[in-house]
Amino acid sequence: MRLEQFPASIRDYLIAKPGGDLGYDCLGCGARHKADRLLYTCPDCAGLLNLTDALDGALSNKSGDFWRSLFDYRQMLNLEPLKGVFLFHEFLAPSIPLQDILYLGEGRTPVVEAPEALAEEIGAHFYIKLEGLNPSASFKDRGMAAALSYLNFLVRTQNLTSVMAVCASTGDTSAAAALYSSALGTAVKSAVLLPKGRVTAQQLSQPLGAGATVFELPGVFDDCMKVVEKLSDDYQVALLNSKNPWRVLGQESYAFETAQRFDYDLSHKVLFVPVGNAGNITAILSGLLKFYRHKVIEKLPKIVAVQSERANPVFLYYNSPKPRTYSPVTVKPSVAQAAMIGDPVSFPRLAKLVDQYEKICPHSSFFALEVKEQDIIDCMLLANRRGFTVCTQGGECLAALKLALAQGLVGPKERAVLNSTAHALKFSNFQNAYFEDFLKEEYAITAKPYLVNRPKALELKNCPKPSGQRPLNPQESEQFVQISAQEIASTLGLKAKGSGRIS
């Protein structure tokens, strides 16, 4: 829609102007640092940082109605930088000028209601937000859009010519980091640290394809994270893990979009979020609290944090008696491999936000559930059998929904919104291994025959077969087609035409 076609009351605000006063707040010592450079930890005490806007209060000078209609109208504005997560520019990273915003098609992913057949099987109507439809096929693109837009701003304003962006990853962060870095041309190069053998072939192909330098390290994600933290402490690099608070800002858009999808009414909604390094759930809680503070939403939804029982530090923390103490866990192999993290870097941020959340909604507003490996993969395959392609982390959410329904955590009037954080194809190796029943030993998973599927070979006896070397002659070809069609029809139980009604 062209600018002059928007209502006059909204027109002046549609094209966001740089504003706000962003700064880094230390969770440890409370110091505030200017956001004129990239920081990951507090220069005074090495504490974790949050990015906040000192002028945030001014957002409340406008009514909730104003923001709601601005964001709704802005969806119709054809202006590239505001097409993705920066649709919510004022609430996200208002200091970044539009000219520096990097947009590769991320965000605005669909929230789809589960087909009736799946809802019946699970025992409730629910929705899934399909985050696998982002450019690098996971939600990480939201955070990278913000982090790399900020880096782009620094490159332009500080004439930086050779930035080395680094991250540790279970796969998806590296895919997104490499892709978004590559979009900035020669100014930014990327290097990623992956736990050898704990990233799928599809995920590994992503940073390689985008030209990153890929290091495979022994151990698990937590070991890679320690190495990358050391790199960012001692060398000039741009850390792109969610320890980088710009990432968190971008990922808040998930919360904003979910609110918008339900016309800003999140009462009776329950958001299920798989948790690994705890960056995503931190961002979602932070985004929801921002929208709540400025009256864009009036009710906060219930939140369910989901972990596999093989990588469950957040579950253990929230299910232990108060006063709670946090302890990292040693992870075991999990099919929800992208979230296989024993010591989430963002845990201190999460704990603080949950406290804030529970102060506003004292009763039953935040839960942590753990799910079994068998249920994770069965749910992923079941969803696929009923119209959804969800990743193994999406499978975790679906397994958790079943558990929550059984425990009465989700009531009949509530609707769950599951976060399928990545595309199923990234994890098709687990599907293949399940179909071959190869997950018994390492994952204690047994294939359920009704979920197994394999390609069928045709037994073409006494039949000429096409081969790469020699084309079939017309007579052979006719024979091949005839016999193949007969075999397929017999396997499928097809009735010949003219033999009665199609049933």
Structure tokens of 192? 């990623």
Is 420 an interacting residue with respect to ligand F0G (CB under 6 A)? Answer: no
Residue 61's identity, in one-letter code, is N
> Distance between CA 331 and CA 501 in Å, rounded?
57
Whether 167 contacts 147, CB under 8 Å = no
Interface stretch with ligand F0G, choices 82-90, 166-174, 295-303, 375-383 (CB under 6 A) = 166-174
Shortest Cβ distance from residue 162 to ligand F0G (Å)?
24
Structure tokens of 93? 């990273």
Exactly one of 50, 52, 149, 173 binds ligand F0G (CB under 6 A); that residue is 173
Say how many residues touch ligand F0G, by CB under 6 A: 22
Residue 59 burial by Cβ neighbours in a 10 Å radius (0-12, 13-18, 19+): buried
Strand stretches in 102-245, DSSP E: 111-113, 126-130, 163-168, 188-195, 213-217, 238-239
Is 172 an interacting residue with respect to ligand F0G (CB under 6 A)? Answer: yes
**Angle subtended by helix axes 253-261 and 279-293, to nearest 10:** 60
Shortest Cβ distance from residue 316 to ligand F0G (Å)?
15
Interface stretch with ligand F0G, choices 42-50, 171-179, 318-326, 401-409 (CB under 6 A) = 171-179
Q: Which is nearer to ligand F0G, 70 or 167 (CB)?
A: 167
| Beta pairing partners, 51 | 24
Structure tokens of 110? 């669909």
Shortest Cβ distance from residue 193 to ligand F0G (Å)?
10
What sign does the dihedral 384-388-393-396 (CA atoms) show?
Answer: negative
> Distance between CA 77 and CA 225 in Å, rounded?
40
Interface stretch with ligand F0G, choices 32-40, 74-82, 165-173, 321-329 (CB under 6 A) = 165-173
Q: Which is nearer to ligand F0G, 124 or 168 (CB)?
A: 168
Q: Which is nearer to ligand F0G, 107 or 274 (CB)?
A: 274
Q: Which is nearer to ligand F0G, 149 or 420 (CB)?
A: 420
In degrees and rounded to multiples of 5, residue 89 shows phi and psi of -45, -50
Interface stretch with ligand F0G, choices 19-27, 117-125, 164-172, 405-413 (CB under 6 A) = 164-172
> Distance between CA 186 and CA 188 in Å, rounded?
6
The interface with ligand F0G within residues 124-143 (CB under 6 A) comprises: 138, 140
Q: Which is nearer to ligand F0G, 94 or 143 (CB)?
A: 143
Is 393 an interacting residue with respect to ligand F0G (CB under 6 A)? Answer: yes
> Distance between CA 104 and CA 145 in Å, rounded?
8
Shortest Cβ distance from residue 390 to ligand F0G (Å)?
10
Is 311 an interacting residue with respect to ligand F0G (CB under 6 A)? Answer: no
Shortest Cβ distance from residue 172 to ligand F0G (Å)?
3
**Angle subtended by helix axes 428-435 and 201-209, to nearest 10:** 160
Residue 211's identity, in one-letter code, is G
Shortest Cβ distance from residue 171 to ligand F0G (Å)?
5
Q: Which is nearer to ligand F0G, 82 or 92 (CB)?
A: 92
**What CA dihedral angle connects 264, 268, 272 and 278, to 10 degrees?**
60
Q: Which is nearer to ligand F0G, 22 or 391 (CB)?
A: 391
DSSP-assigned states of every residue in 45-66: T--BEEEEETTGGGGGGS-HHH
Shortest Cβ distance from residue 201 to ligand F0G (Å)?
15
Q: Which is nearer to ligand F0G, 142 or 290 (CB)?
A: 142
Exactly one of 232, 307, 334, 421 binds ligand F0G (CB under 6 A); that residue is 421
Whether 463 contacts 480, CB under 8 Å = yes
Q: Which is nearer to ligand F0G, 74 or 243 (CB)?
A: 243
The interface with ligand F0G within residues 241-280 (CB under 6 A) comprises: 242, 274-280
> Distance between CA 114 and CA 127 in Å, rounded?
6
Exactly one of 128, 237, 339, 390 binds ligand F0G (CB under 6 A); that residue is 339
Q: Which is nearer to ligand F0G, 170 or 334 (CB)?
A: 170
Neighbour tally for 230: CB within 10 Å: 10
> Distance between CA 463 and CA 471 in Å, rounded?
14
Binding residues for ligand F0G, rule: CB under 6 A, are 138, 140, 169-173, 242, 274-281, 338-339, 391, 393, 421-422
